[in-house]
Amino acid sequence: MVGYNLLMTSEEKYLGKLILIVGPSGSGKGTVINRLKQSFAGFVFPISYTTRDPREGEEDGDSYHFVMKKKFEQMIENGEFLEHAVVHSDNFYGTGKEDILGPLRDGAVIVREVDMQGFHSIKDLIPKENLLTIFMKVSSLEDLRGRILRRGEMSEEELQKRMDSTLKEIAQADECDYQVENKWGEIDKCVGNVTTIILDEIKDLYE
Ligand code: 5GP
């Protein structure tokens, strides 16, 4: 309970639910979130900040706010992040504090993907009843390796970093509330399972 005092005054109450989709790079978090966006127009999907370069086809403000390291460091100093982390040992990623807490106070359902460090930070900051965490499992490491490579050009070193983070993330999967498998070629089933969990977990918000 310690961390809550950092964010909430005694009168403040969160009415909504923050849903974190976690899991290794290439496990399909982005695809699942895009599908949820199509199905749930009323949910809030905040955009995080990163210092990594945009990939081909990525626009600023679409998948991320792409910022320079100096700007990111300034934002850390100003206390603008709910959490931030260095992911795959090079780039910074961070969720804007008010992007999450504002809608959470208002009773919204918020969906965001973060890495395992983000999950751990947020778990200590948001009350359990306002948080739902879903881990995306992959069927095999070889499958995952293929998916990461299909995303585009990547050095052997970069790939190795992602595979190393993956092993660490998989070892912590059971800290999440649910685990959903994303088997190659079965994305519809995976999205269906995630949707069922979410609908069941948010029904008390509308009672
Ligand atoms: P990518 O660069 O492939 O979009 O994301 C790399 C990793 O960073 C993914 O595991 C993704 O879930 C994670 N990530 C994306 N946004 C955030 C964020 O705001 N905070 C944290 N801690 N991780 C994030």
**DSSP SS3 for 176:** coil
pTM of the full predicted structure?
0.90
| Distances, alpha carbon 135 to alpha carbons 12, 119, 172, 189, 196, in Å | 29, 10, 9, 15, 14
For ligand 1, atom 3, the nearest C-alpha belongs to: 25
One DSSP character per residue, 30-43 reads HHHHHHHHHH-TTS
The ranges assigned to domains in the chain are 17-206
Per-residue confidence (pLDDT) for residue 11, from 0 to 100: 57
Give mean pLDDT in consecutive 10-residue pieces for the chain, a chain of 207 residues: 49 88 90 96 97 92 96 98 90 97 96 96 95 92 81 79 86 96 92 98 85
Does ligand 1 have an atom closer than 6 angstroms to the CB of 27? no
Measured N-to-C along each axis, helices 141-150 and 156-171 cross at an angle, to the nearest 10 degrees, of 140
Per-residue confidence (pLDDT) for residue 1, from 0 to 100: 38
Q: Which of 19, 82, 115 for a ligand 1 pocket mutation test, highest count of atoms within 8 Å of Cβ?
A: 115
For ligand 1, atom 15, the nearest C-alpha belongs to: 114
Level-2 CATH architecture, domain 17-206 = 3-Layer(aba) Sandwich (3.40)
Does ligand 1 have an atom closer than 6 angstroms to the CB of 25? yes
49 strand-pairing partners: 65, 94
| Strand spans (E) along the chain | 17-22, 48-50, 64-66, 81-87, 91-96, 109-113, 131-138, 178-182
CA of 148 to the centre of ligand 1 (A): 14
Asked whether the CA dihedral 117, 22, 53, 39 is positive or negative, the reply is negative
Q: How far apart are CA 173 and CA 162, in angstroms?
A: 16
Does ligand 1 have an atom closer than 6 angstroms to the CB of 95? yes
